A and B are shown apart, each in its own frame.
Chain A
Amino acid sequence: MEPLTESDRASAAPGDFSIDLSGIGLPLSYDAVTDVLCDGRRVWSFAVEDHPHDGRRRRVRWPAALRGRLHGSSAVTLRRHDTGAALCHREVVFDDLPGRVRVVDHAGRELVINKAGHEAHALDALDSDARASLADGLASTLRMLNESCGVPGFLAYGTLLGAVRAGHFIGHDTDMDVAYFSDHTNPVDVALESFRIERTFRRSGWRTSRDSAGMFKVFVTESASAMRHVDIFSSFCCEGLYHLVPFVTGALSPAALLPLGVVDLEGRSLPAPADCAALLEMTYGQDWKVPNPAFQYELPRAVNRRVNVGWFHNYVAHRRQWMSFYHDADRAAVPAEPSSFARWMTGLEDRDALVVDVGCGTGRDVLYFARDGHRSLGLDYAAHGFGPAGAAAGREGLPVSFEPFNLCDLRNVLAVGTRLAHDSGPRIVFARFLVHALGEQARQNLWRLSQLALRGGGRLYLEFRTPRDSTTKHAFGNRYRNYVEPDVVVREIEQRGGRIQYRTEGQGMAPYASEDPHVCRLVASWSE
């Protein structure tokens, strides 16, 4: 195909574009990165070449997160991102509902759909005070890295790009990025250093959250009612290659990073690599100077396998799905009353046991256990889920606590397992609909936790979907489900010294709405 000339591109007239609920239609002659504005505000950007065509016209489908918000009508503008030129502007009626299209969060803050198709708060929606507050937070983060943590920290990824290109945050960016250059050359030491640095932030009163063994976030103040995160990435040299977690691997000399230079961002001089252009070219390619809000990293398979899947384990697998689930309307569909499995369990156990509900979700069963006379502890890695239940427990004065807990992080499992092992008195580990929601490593960690917690007595109660459930229609749609044969679960528990005391499989045990899943119930113990 011949490359399009500027005159070809300019030949697209407003009438060549169509906009409706199914998506956007474009002439083939048009191929620029495009912003979509609703009532004058940018809500999404896309690269034309990422979308299919039928030989005559190109069809751009709305990302699911935006499609679900297209109700009522809106003045929709399509705009070239590079020149800012409007391509077409028209009033679009998406459906019969009254009102305008609103792309905002539950608190009314404006959202955009980012390049990954997720809802996010873009920096271009912020006023000058909020931008100044974020720049101060970023400067504090870099001071912590360079002065308190003893590692050379510098701006990276989109934040460095915005600073070098224009001295400002990139408007369509949604977070801030910094990295540090480690002296270590072995991934084990790099991970340990990242753990140590996160601890230093915590000890200084910062709120943090870890995504992988090579990356964590710190939270800085955006305004009186909002926080925003700064991603802190490890970078290091190993076997002659430079790695900046999670996207960059290549031949970059340490001299391109150190000694650190400075770059201006929102009126502040902040640490930057010695040769910003070299790192930006390695990150974004030779066209790094051309703005592109639809930019996607094309991560070579070998880099992804080595750095992200191999060296630095992902601690947040599928968590975004669960966070969204607890934010949107699906949450209301989760029954408030306890599960039948929880009722069944309490009929078999004495009331003085501590019940640990692993993967407690909304915490409905945790509240039930407490109301039934048990001490109870709810654990889940999507902490948004149990927020309302925690508040309810506080109001009722129930003996309940909820804690963020991540089965993907062995440190978390060992710490909580050891604490439970030291807790005197009988205890129950309860995990309903958890086993089929876990990857292989997280499942092994569930057995580790149970083994630690129950070595002094008590029982493990499991209810999970079996592979026979995999082809049936589910009330909550197609989520990540890793079906495991009950025989495999039994074997894994027995290999870790557990003994199965009860096993049953079938339907009729966990019906919900029109769904009657095929499940397995297991009870196991570890003590003599």
Chain B
Amino acid sequence: MPVGGVVVGVAGRLRTWGRVGAGRLAPTVMASISDVPRLIGRIRDLAQAQVRLSRRITELEAEVQECRRLQTRVAEVTDFVVEVLIPAADRDDERLRRALERYEREVL
């Protein structure tokens, strides 16, 4: 075996003994170190989830506002229907004209 191969073999054994020794002396530290790649992956997932959630909150806020804005719209349409269209339901043009005139006088 060339000298280089001997050195590599020794170094490999030393690393193994070191890992086994450290595992016996400080088992939780070694377990945590071996967990690092998994934890890094988890952090990456959480960061992506945060971006997704933040985007989703923005969307939900817009959807809530969309619903809230309907309140005024429904009130406006209801007001017009009750004050103008219902009186005009008998298709009496004169009555519609009067209802409209009165509505505009009182709204605008």
Contact = CB atoms under 8 A, between A and B. Distances in A.
Contacts of B71: 186-188, 191, 213, 310-312
B74 interface: yes
Interface in B40-67: 61, 64-65
Given A188-B78, A418-B84, A411 B68 contact: no
A419 B96 CA distance: 10
Given A313-B72, A415-B107, A192 B65 contact: no
Nearest to A416: B104
Interface string B75-108: 1111110001000000001001100100111111
Given A187-B71, A311-B68, A409 B104 contact: no
Contacts of B104: 415-416, 419
Interface in A158-216: 186-189, 191-192, 195, 198-199, 202-203, 213
Interface string A405-437: 110011110111011001000000000000000
A414 B106 contact: no
A306 interface: yes
A305 interface: yes
A40 interface: no
Contacts of B80: 410-411, 414-415
Contacts of A387: none
B69 interface: yes
A516 B27 CA distance: 78
B73 interface: yes
Given A188-B75, A195-B75, A213-B75, A412 B107 contact: yes
B72 A191 contact: yes
A365 B76 CA distance: 31
A403 B84 contact: no
Contact of B69 (A198, A310, A409, A412): A310
- Size band of the B side of the interface? 20 to 34
Interface in A296-338: 305-306, 309-313
A427 to B, nearest CB: 17
Nearest to A187: B71
Contacts, number: 88
Contact of A410 (B64, B77, B96): B77
Contacts of A189: 75
B100 A419 contact: yes
Interface of A (DSSP majority class): helix
B106 A410 contact: no
Contacts of B84: 414-415, 418
A254 interface: no
Nearest to B72: A313
B76 A202 contact: no
Contact of B79 (A192, A419, A441): A192
A415 B78 contact: no
Contacts of A406: 108
Contacts of B61: 305
A470 B103 CA distance: 40
Interface string A377-417: 00000000000000000000000000111100111101110
A342 B45 CA distance: 61
B100 A418 contact: yes
A309 B108 contact: no
B108 A415 contact: yes
28 contacts: A187-B68, A187-B71, A188-B75, A189-B75, A191-B71, A191-B76, A192-B75, A192-B78, A195-B79, A202-B105, A203-B106, A213-B71, A305-B68, A311-B68, A311-B72, A312-B72, A313-B69, A313-B72, A410-B80, A411-B103, A412-B107, A414-B84, A415-B108, A416-B104, A416-B108, A419-B100, A422-B97, A441-B69
Interface of B: 61, 64-65, 68-69, 71-80, 84, 93, 96-97, 100, 103-108
Interface of A: 186-189, 191-192, 195, 198-199, 202-203, 213, 305-306, 309-313, 403-406, 409-412, 414-416, 418-419, 422, 441
- In the complex, the 4 A-B pairs of residues with the closest C-beta atoms, listed nearest first: A310-B68, A191-B75, A313-B72, A410-B76
Given A311-B71, A415-B103, 20 more contacts: A191-B75, A195-B107, A202-B105, A203-B106, A305-B61, A305-B65, A305-B68, A310-B64, A310-B65, A311-B72, A312-B71, A406-B108, A410-B73, A410-B77, A410-B80, A411-B103, A414-B80, A415-B100, A416-B108, A418-B84
